[in-house]
Structure 1
Amino acid sequence: MSEIFLDDASLDRLTGIRRGRTRAGVKQTKHEMQAAFLRESGIPFIPNARGRPVVLLSAVESRRTTDTPKKGWKPAAIGA
């Protein structure tokens, strides 16, 4: 059976974030930093009850950067 969500190790590799940090006395957890990275990258996720980002494997596998979005349909009568 295949997994449908990225596991913790895969999420760490995807984001490049393996632990939290403290700057100027402000603590930021690893999961908060990962969620911010995913948000900035446009990768869809949902936070679970513990505040950890949960990413569907299909969301990462289907990412395409070279394809341009399709134009919407417009009737020929309007374009003439």
Structure 2
Amino acid sequence: MTDITVSEELASRIETRVEHTEFETTDEYAEFVLSEVVTRVERETEQTSESSSSREGVQERLESLGYLEE
């Protein structure tokens, strides 16, 4: 496990949020939130990458068919 340092303000905000959740500790809550955010960013990055690859494939196909100049 690795320690992460956050500002006092953020720590206080996390502590306040934990009181209204099922999490028992601020560490559990912070780990959950970070995991959710990283997962979302990874998905968005994958989608952007796939979209870019798909776009390139379409462009190459249109060029091969003579619809676009190479």
The normalised TM-score by structure 1 is: 0.33
Tell me which structure has the larger Cα radius of gyration: 2
Q: Highest relative contact order (Cα 8 Å, sep 6+), 1 or 2?
A: 1
Structure richer in helix, relative to its length: 2
Structure richer in strand, relative to its length: 1
